[in-house]
Every structure is written in C-alpha cells, then in structure tokens.
Amino acid sequence: MSVATACANIALVKYWGKRDAGLNTPAAGSLSLTLDSLRTFTQVELTDAEEDTLSLGGKPVTGRPVARITAFADLVRAMAGRKERVAVRSQNSFPTAAGLASSASAFAALAVATADAFGVALSPKELSILARRGSGSAARSIFGGFVLMHGGSASDGQDAFAEPLEGIPLTFSAAVAAARAEEKKIGSTDGMDLTRDTSPYYAAWIDCVNRDLGTAQAALREGDISRLAEIVEGNCLAMHANAMAARPGIIYFGPSTLWAIQEVRAMRAEGTPVFFTIDAGPHVVAFTPPEHLEQVAARLEGHPEVAEVITSPVGDGAHLVERMP
C-alpha cells in the first residue's frame, strides 16, 4: 500500500487548450505556484478485485471519475507489466463543498502513489509526464514553488513536462475567495475543447500565452511585482475573454467574482502589492507577499457570496507519506 500527498497549484500563466487529446498535451506552456493549503492525500492499494475502485473523502464513487482512474492506472500497469487492480482512497485537506477540488493535486498524488504501489521507479520529470496524462495541471503539482510547464512539440508527449523555477527572489502567499458556488458547470477539459473549436480568439490566446510566459519569467527573476501583476491579471482575463467568446459562451464568473477583482485592484491602488487570477470557476485567488496576507484575506471576506477565504503559503512537491492523515 502506498500513500502520497500533493498540493494544488494556481497558474499565473494559464493552460487553456490541448495539442493532443489522447496524450493530453497542452497547446502551450504554463507557469504556476504550488499552494500548501489545498492538499490531497491519496492511498493506492493493489487488489485482486475485478475493477478499480475509488473513494473520495470516505465516500465510494462510481462512473466517470473511476473510468479516469482506470485509464490512468492502465498506464502504470503497462509500465510495470502487471495486472492488479487498484483501490484508491483520496481525501482533500480543504472543503470540497466550495468547489475547489483540484484535478492537479489529485492526479499528482495519484501518480506518485500508483507508481510506488506497482514498484515503478520514475524520475520527477517522468512523474510529471505521467501526472499530465491524468490532468494537464497535475504535471505542475509534482513540484513545489514556482513551476514552469513546457508545452512541448514531440508527437509522443515526452517534452510536455513541468520543472521547478529556481532562484526567484519573490515569495507570495495566496488568499482564495471561495465563492458559494455549485459544482462548476463546464469542466476545464470540455471548456478548453469548446473554446478551441468555436472561439474566434483562440489563436490570439495561444500567442498571448507564449509572450506572457517569457515576460512573466523575466518579471519573476527581476522581482518586479508591478510588472508581474499586469501580466498575470492580463493573462487570466485573456483566458476568460477567450472562453466567453466560445459558442455558447463559457462564463465562469459568479456574483462575487467581479467584486473581488475590484477589491484587489483597489488594494493595489492603495499601495498593497497584490494581484488576482481566476481558474475555471468563480473563485478569485489573490497573490501577495506573506506580510500582506492577513489584510488581503480580511478584505476579501466582505461579500455575501464569498463562503470563506482560504489562505495558503507556498506548497512543496508531491511525495510519499507514511499513512493517510
């Protein structure tokens, strides 16, 4: 039996579009920060059962999530030349009711635990490639801190992996304004495909990502928070503009989203170094140096549609642990 933990990550330059659906390779690179407070623990046990099984937070799950686990475990079974089924137990350290469940932490933890359970020794780069097959953003959660995902161009997907960015002179904590939202309506996989197939802005978006990857890394290395804020917010809004321009338009924002954007910008105008980003849901993530976190988090609590503000320091990479918490 193997147990692993991994943190979610939030992209500063977003992944929104696939090159190859089968290998789950991204159409471009991306850049993220791993967050400690949004953590998954996953236990993998090999069994002689007929089927793979999955429980989330202690509750048995069936259907599509199990099919995803089976497709993923098949990759590791093929590497190991073994046939056992897996019994997967997974649990998040944060309230999934807020709709923050992350495929990034889930598949990064699953990659580490499944490889270990089948006795397959993989390098961090190989684990990142494996995790990507489960979910693109999971490739980044293999690593802690700032992480760069390479979009790659190889037809076998072997150059589409993440690696940590070393020597960045900046540290950010995050305040996640978790909206009182139902489960997200359009998952990122479907949202990306619809955007690629129908949005008139898709090609411009991919060009935008390629530019932002270079300038965001330069701003990080120079410790230029103002420049970084402009790039990160611009990239996030370009992703959402692109998705909104799909047909039918995909709108992830909820009632508290625009409010939180305005609060973050108001704080910045008042002199607090803070900037926002938003993934495929209504929650706004504010990044700020740790000394400003408390003030930023308190401010983001002030909307009736914000269920809670989750704060987080930077997270570490995926790794094995002794047992489930």
Instruction: Catalog residues that contact ligand DP6 under the rule CB under 6 A.
Output: 11, 14-16, 24, 30, 103, 135-137, 188-189, 279-280
Position of tokens 């918490």?
A: 325
Q: What are phi and psi of 162, to 5 degrees?
A: -105, 160
> CB of residue 137 vs ligand DP6: minimum separation in angstroms?
3
Integer Cα distance of 106 and 100 in angstroms: 12
Q: Are 143 and 128 in contact (CB under 8 A)?
A: yes
> CB of residue 113 vs ligand DP6: minimum separation in angstroms?
18
For residue 239, give the H/E element and its range.
Answer: helix 225-244
Q: Could you tell me whether strands 173-179 and 85-92 are parallel, antiparallel, or unpaired per DSSP bridges?
A: unpaired
Helix, coil or strand: residue 135: coil
> CB of residue 250 vs ligand DP6: minimum separation in angstroms?
11
CB-wise, 186 or 300, nearer to ligand DP6? 186
Q: For residue 20, how many other CB atoms are within 10 A of its CB?
A: 14
> CB of residue 15 vs ligand DP6: minimum separation in angstroms?
3
Buried b (16+ CB within 10 A) or exposed e, 72-91: bbebbbebbeeebbbbbbbb
CB-wise, 19 or 77, nearer to ligand DP6? 19
> CB of residue 32 vs ligand DP6: minimum separation in angstroms?
7
> CB of residue 283 vs ligand DP6: minimum separation in angstroms?
11
CB-wise, 16 or 275, nearer to ligand DP6? 16
Helix, coil or strand: residue 253: coil
Structure tokens at 279: 């993934």
What amino acid occupies position 41? F
Cβ burial, residue 200 (10 Å; 0-12/13-18/19+): exposed
CB-wise, 225 or 243, nearer to ligand DP6? 243
> CB of residue 243 vs ligand DP6: minimum separation in angstroms?
9
> CB of residue 92 vs ligand DP6: minimum separation in angstroms?
15
Cβ burial, residue 322 (10 Å; 0-12/13-18/19+): exposed
DSSP letter for each residue of 19-49: EETTTTEESS-EEEEEEEEEEEEEEEEEE-S
Q: What are phi and psi of 50, to 5 degrees?
A: -75, -35
CB-wise, 277 or 292, nearer to ligand DP6? 277
